[in-house]
Structure 1
Amino acid sequence: MKSENEGISMSDFVEPGQKAPAFNLSADDGSKVKLSDFTGKPVVLYFYPKDDTPGCTREACAFRDAKAALKKAGAVVLGVSPDDVASHTKFRDKYKLNFPLLADPDHKVAEKYGAWREKNMYGKKSMGIQRSTFLIDPAGKIARVWKRVQVDGHDEKVLEAIKQID
């Protein structure tokens, strides 16, 4: 018997070549953002655990600081976490972030992409966001996946990959 979710489990990341799962999420400015809004442009969709924590702040600020190079490459950056819009607004304003932060409080989009994972911290298991980035090509297909992102230098690796999809 087939289950409704056969083919997509929480342990599966979407892979290069697959169509990027659609989404419609609330952004830090209260607007709704859909993946289809960016058809024709490369999209850097990155999932991070929590607003205003050290690693997440470094990652967001790196993408903020790479804005000119990303824009030159025609790319759009979207950050996604389970935090709500109010938290995203504070985080955006505190660090002058220049790209949308999307609220995924029920982690449905993170699950579609495979970024909602079992984590093990000091022997305690829990579910949460695994820091991961998905580069979506202008046609809406996954071009590249980074599954366990190391923050330092990640923005440069993403920029290099964007240049390769043109």
Structure 2
Amino acid sequence: MAKTPETGLPAPGFTLSGIRLTGSGAGEGQSTVERADFTLAADPPPGRPLLLAFYPGDDTSVCTRQLCAYSSELEVFRSRETEVWAISPQDLESHEAFARKHDLRMPLLADPDRTVAKAYGITAPGIGLRRAVFLIGPDGTLRWKHVALLGASFQSVDALKERLDALQAG
């Protein structure tokens, strides 16, 4: 297993395909799906902070609670000018079904070969990948990370809000 990137250094760049629900509301047929490639460049121009949430699997109990919490509180992240992207090994069809079922509004990116998970040092034998959150500053520098030893819990929106406030405070 590769080592996780160090805080203070550039975050590994990547391009992954993903989906994002757009439209008026929850449920099948109520939302449309935007498919796009999402890129974190190795040398991004100044922009917005990015929260990468790696999760083991679509529609599993802890992952569902985590992503529903983040999605329902997207305004907390948006008010801090922060993008939220969720990444797991499942394909776009699985992501679309998961997003529609739970009305998830952040992009869900597919990493079926676990290439990005490996670059971030979070692959694990037997479980595929560890639940992890990486906060990347507007300059592309990794500012904070949390990699779970066990995937039974996740970083709360309140804990992430504190991290974002600290980042913005300097």
TM-score, length-scaled by structure 2: 0.83
Instruction: State the 1:14 CA deviation.
Output: 1.0
Matched, 1:59 2:50: no
Please give the root-mean-square deviation of Cα atoms over the aligned residues, in Å.
1.7
What is the aligned length? 150
Partner in structure 1 of residue 76 of structure 2: 69
Amino acid in the other structure paired with 1:58: R
2:134 counterpart residue number? 134
In the alignment, which residue of structure 2 is the partner of 1:155?
157
Q: 2:56 aligned to 49, 66, 69, which one?
A: 49
Listed as ranges, the gaps of 5+ residues in structure 1 are 1-9, 119-125
- C-alpha separation in 1, matches of 2:137 and 2:153: 22
What pairs up with 1:1-40 in 2 under 5 angstroms? Answer: 10-28=1-19, 29-36=34-41, 39-40=46-47
Return the letter of the residue paired with 1:18.
Answer: L
SS of corresponding position for 1:30: strand
The question of 1:93 aligning with 2:95 is answered no
| CA displacement at 1:153 relative to structure 2 | 5.3
1:2-32 Cα offsets, whole Å, 9 max, x none, are xxxxxxxx24111211101011000023211
- 8 Å contact kept, 2:11–2:136: yes
TM-fit CA distance, 1:151: 3.3
Match in the other structure for 1:3:
none
Moved over 6 A (4+): none
Q: What letter matches 1:31 in structure 2?
A: A
Q: Structure 1 residues 86 and 38, CA, compared in 2 at 3 Å: closer, same or farther?
A: farther
Contact 1:11-1:117 within 8 A present in 2 as well: no
- The 1-side partners of 2:63 and 2:101 are apart by 13
1:49 and 1:60 map into 2 onto residues whose CA distance is 11
Contact 2:56/2:127, CA 8 A, preserved across alignment: no
Q: CA deviation at 1:42?
A: 0.7
SS in 1 for 2:6: coil
Structure 1 residues 32 and 39, CA, compared in 2 at 3 Å: closer, same or farther? farther
* Distance (whole Å) between structure 1 residues aligned to residue 139 and residue 146 of structure 2: 19
Going from structure 1 to structure 2, the CA distance change for 1:51 and 1:38 (only over 3 Å counts) comes to farther
Q: In the TM superposition, what is the alpha-carbon distance from 1:136 to its structure 2 partner? A: 0.3
Cα distance, 1:11–1:88 mapped onto 2, change above 3 Å:
same
From the superposition, tell whether residues 150 and 72 of structure 1 become closer, same or farther in structure 2 (CA, over 3 Å). farther
Q: Which residue of 1 aligns with 2:27?
A: none
Q: 1:131 to 1:95 in 2, by over 3 A?
A: same
TM-score, normalised to structure 1's length? Answer: 0.84
